[in-house]
Amino acid sequence: MRARRMTQKKHRIDQSIMYGNLLSEKENVKHWHHVLFDQQFSSYEEWTKKYRHDPEAFSNLFYTQGLMNMLGMWIKEDLVDRDLLFDRGVNAWVVALYPKIQPWIMGMRRRYNDPLLYQYSEYLYNEVMRIYPEMKHPPDLDAPQ
């Protein structure tokens, strides 16, 4: 029994380290930081007009939503410890980013006539808002701390 508890504890530690690395690895932070602060758009059409021919902008946005979509799928399919993932700060990251990229996601759904495209990003955001209703929607990132 003790060995099983130690194995479970080690597994949680390993997961925590993996989540922390996934969210704070330098290249990953560059991607989502660029989307959050450098890309200015309020619709898919505006994003397309400004950034369609910018490989870095597309890469940053695609990577960011891809990561969010993957995390949402992991949570929906119960492949990860949701509480542990949220304890690593995913909730704040999602609340800041999803409203920013939602117009792009909705535009991609229209463009490809696929209402489920990037569905797990949306699922992740809705789960965060359900569990943490007190979180600002979206947070004021420029507010003094």
Query: Does residue 142 sit within a domain?
Result: no
Query: Does residue 15 sit within a domain?
Result: yes
Asked whether the beta carbons of 35 and 82 are under 8 A apart, the reply is: no
Query: What pLDDT does residue 126 have?
Result: 94
Report how many domains make up the chain.
1
List, for residues 40-78, the tens digit of each pLDDT value: 999 999 999 999 999 999 999 999 999 899 999 989 998
Query: Does residue 144 sit within a domain?
Result: no
Query: What pLDDT does residue 87 have?
Result: 76
Query: Scanning the structure block, which residue is given the tokens 């960011």?
Result: 64
Q: What are phi and psi of 51, to 5 degrees?
A: -120, -5
Query: What pLDDT does residue 53 have?
Result: 95
Query: Does residue 87 sit within a domain?
Result: yes
Domain with 63 in it: 2-131
Query: Does residue 145 sit within a domain?
Result: no
DSSP secondary structure letters along the chain: -HHHHHHHHHHHHHHHHHHHHHHH-HHHHHHHHIIIII---SSHHHHHHHHTT-HHHHHHHHHHHHHHHHHHHHHHTT-S-HHHHHHTTHHHHHHHHHHHHHHHHHHHHHHTT-TTTTHHHHHHHHHHHHH-TTS-SS--TTS--
Query: Does residue 138 sit within a domain?
Result: no
pLDDT at 142 over 60: no
List, for residues 10-31, the tens digit of each pLDDT value: 666 666 666 666 666 777 788 8
Query: Does residue 114 sit within a domain?
Result: yes
Query: Does residue 69 sit within a domain?
Result: yes
